[in-house]
């Protein structure tokens, strides 16, 4: 479990780094965008706990959604700060 949490934190840290990168590996599909929206609607962006952040990251991992500028943008559109989620 600890390795999973540590891995999740690393993935979100990579997300923050990827936003400054000029290359993007892939675009999000409509299904992935729907999954992001579905996952995030269960949370209050202004009151996230570390546990919430870990659950969000785990849900994205399970759906095969990798850190990217597109993910950060999609999260931002829904009122979430990807860096904050990663930091939690």
CA atoms of 59 and 85, how far apart (whole Å): 13
What does the block give as tokens for 49?
């706990």
- pTM here? 0.69
DSSP secondary structure string, the chain? -HHHHHHHHHHHHHHHHHTT-S--S-PPPHHHHHHHHHHHTTS-TTS--HHHHHHHHHHHHHTT----HHHHHHHHHTT--HHHHHH-
pLDDT in tens, the chain (88 residues): 444 444 444 555 555 444 434 334 468 999 999 999 999 999 999 999 999 999 999 999 999 999 999 999 999 999 999 999 989 8
């Amino acid at each position: 479990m600890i390795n999973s949490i540590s891995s999740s934190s690393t993935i979100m840290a990579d997300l923050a780094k990827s936003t400054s990168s000029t290359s993007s590996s892939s675009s999000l599909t409509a299904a992935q965008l729907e999954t992001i929206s579905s996952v995030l609607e269960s949370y209050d962006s202004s009151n996230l706990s570390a546990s919430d952040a870990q659950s969000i990251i785990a849900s994205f991992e399970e759906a095969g959604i990798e850190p990217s500028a597109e993910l950060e943008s999609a999260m931002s559109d829904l009122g979430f700060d990807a860096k904050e989620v990663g930091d939690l």
